[in-house]
Amino acid sequence: MLPARNQFLRHSPPDGEGPAPILNRCNGLRHSTQSVSLAQRLHCSDGLRCGSKPPEREMASRIKKLWTTEDYWAVWLGLGIVVLALAAFAAGGSIKGWAVTPGSWSNLGDLGADLATNWSGYLTIFLIFGGVFTVSIAIMGRKVSEFIPGFTILFLGALAIFYLAANPVVGKGLHLGAPLLALVLGLIIGNVIQLPEWFSTALRTEYYIKTGIVLLGATLPLTLIFKAGPIAFVQATIVSVCTWLTIYLAATRVFRLEPQFAAVLGAGGAVCGVSASIAVGGAVKAKKDHIAIGIAVVSVWAIVMILVLSVVVKLMVPTPISPGEAGAWVGTSEFADAAGFAVVAELSTVIEAGAIRAADGSLMNPDDPINTFTLMKVIGRDIWIGIWCLILAVVSVMFWEKEEGAQRTVGPGVIWERFPKFVLGFFAASIIMTAVSANPPGDHVGRAPVEGVYKTSAEKIVYDADFSDYTAPAELADRFAYDAAAGEITYVGEMRLSEYDDLVTAVAVGDPNLRDKKGALKQLRFKSDWFESELRPRVISPIKKLRSWAFVLCFLCIGLSTRFKDLLTFGLKPFWAFTIGVAVNVPLGYFLSTVVFSRFWSNISDMM
Under 8 Å between Cβ of 348 and 324: no
Q: For position 16, what pLDDT does the model report?
A: 40
For residues 382 and 53, the model is more confident at 382
Q: Stretch 152-169: mean pLDDT, rounded? A: 93
Q: What are phi and psi of 180, to 5 degrees?
A: -65, -40
Q: For position 274, what pLDDT does the model report?
A: 73
Residue type, 393: A
Residue type, 92: G
pLDDT band of residue 132 (cuts 50, 70, 90) is very high
pLDDT digits (tens, 9 = 90+) for 204-261: 887 898 898 788 788 766 765 566 557 888 888 898 899 999 999 999 999 999 899 9
For 529-556, give one letter per residue: b (16+ CB within 10 A) or e.
bbbebbbbebbbbbbbbbbbbbbbbbbb
Which distant-in-sequence residues (6+ apart) come within 8 Å of 474 by Cβ?
none
Q: Distance of alpha carbon 504 from its chain centroid, rounded?
A: 39
Does pLDDT of 35 surpass 80? no
Per DSSP, 105 falls in state -
Write out the H or E segment, with its range, that includes residue 85.
Answer: helix 70-90
Does pLDDT of 424 surpass 90? no
pTM above 0.75, yes or no: no
Write out the H or E segment, with its range, that includes residue 185.
Answer: helix 178-192
Q: Classify residue 316 by burial, with Cβ atoms within 10 Å: 0-12, 13-18, 19+.
A: middle
Q: For position 228, what pLDDT does the model report?
A: 58
For residues 387 and 98, the model is more confident at 98
* CA distances for 67 relative to 56, 72, 413, 464, 533, angstroms: 18, 6, 19, 57, 37
Residue type, 594: T
Percent of the chain with pLDDT over 90: 37
Q: Give the integer Cα–Cα distance in Å for 430 and 424.
A: 10
pLDDT digits (tens, 9 = 90+) for 313-366: 888 988 889 888 998 899 888 877 666 766 776 677 677 667 777 777 777 777
Q: Stretch 434-450: mean pLDDT, rounded? A: 89
Q: Stretch 585-604: mean pLDDT, rounded? A: 90
Q: For position 139, what pLDDT does the model report?
A: 93
Q: Reduced to 3 DSSP states, what percent helix, strand and coil does the chain have, rounded to the nearest 5?
A: 65, 5, 30
Percent of the chain with pLDDT over 70: 80
Q: Classify residue 158 by burial, with Cβ atoms within 10 Å: 0-12, 13-18, 19+.
A: buried
pLDDT band of residue 517 (cuts 50, 70, 90) is very high
Three-class DSSP labels, 492-556? ECCCCHHHHHHHHHCCCCCCCCHHHHHHHHHHHHHHHCHHHHHHHHHHHHHHHHHHHHHHHHHHH
pLDDT digits (tens, 9 = 90+) for 274-302: 778 877 887 788 887 888 888 888 878 87
Q: For position 5, what pLDDT does the model report?
A: 35
Which distant-in-sequence residues (6+ apart) come within 8 Å of 489 by Cβ?
447, 448, 450, 465, 467, 480, 481, 482, 483, 520, 521, 524
Three-class DSSP labels, 122-182? HHHHHHHHHHHHHHHHHHCCCCHHHHHHHHHHHHHHHHHHHHHHHCHHHHHHCCCCHHHHH
Residue 473: is the preceding peptide bond cis (ω within 30°)? no
Q: Where are the domains of the chain?
A: 18-64, 71-438+537-606, 445-534
pLDDT band of residue 29 (cuts 50, 70, 90) is very low
pLDDT digits (tens, 9 = 90+) for 48-87: 344 445 666 766 777 777 887 888 999 999 999 999 999 9
Q: For position 580, what pLDDT does the model report?
A: 96
Classified as helix, coil or strand, 12 is coil
Q: For position 31, what pLDDT does the model report?
A: 37
Q: Distance of alpha carbon 486 from its chain centroid, rounded?
A: 41
For residues 76 and 1, the model is more confident at 76
Q: For position 229, what pLDDT does the model report?
A: 55
pLDDT band of residue 415 (cuts 50, 70, 90) is low
Q: Stretch 552-581: mean pLDDT, rounded? A: 83
Q: For position 411, what pLDDT does the model report?
A: 56
Q: For position 6, what pLDDT does the model report?
A: 38
pLDDT band of residue 479 (cuts 50, 70, 90) is very high
Give the mean pLDDT of the chain.
80
Q: Give the integer Cα–Cα distance in Å for 46 and 413.
A: 5
Q: Give the integer Cα–Cα distance in Å for 417 and 415.
A: 5
Q: Give the integer Cα–Cα distance in Å for 421 and 231.
A: 29
pLDDT band of residue 591 (cuts 50, 70, 90) is very high
Q: For position 419, what pLDDT does the model report?
A: 64
Classified as helix, coil or strand, 66 is coil
Sequence-ordered alpha helix ranges (H) in 366-407: 367-373, 384-395
Q: For position 34, what pLDDT does the model report?
A: 37
For residues 507 and 175, the model is more confident at 507
Q: Stretch 539-565: mean pLDDT, rounded? A: 87
pLDDT band of residue 152 (cuts 50, 70, 90) is very high
**Among the ranges given (29-33, 117-121, 192-196, 454-458), the one the predictor scored with the smallest mean pLDDT:** 29-33
Does pLDDT of 552 surpass 80? yes
Q: Stretch 19-25: mean pLDDT, rounded? A: 33
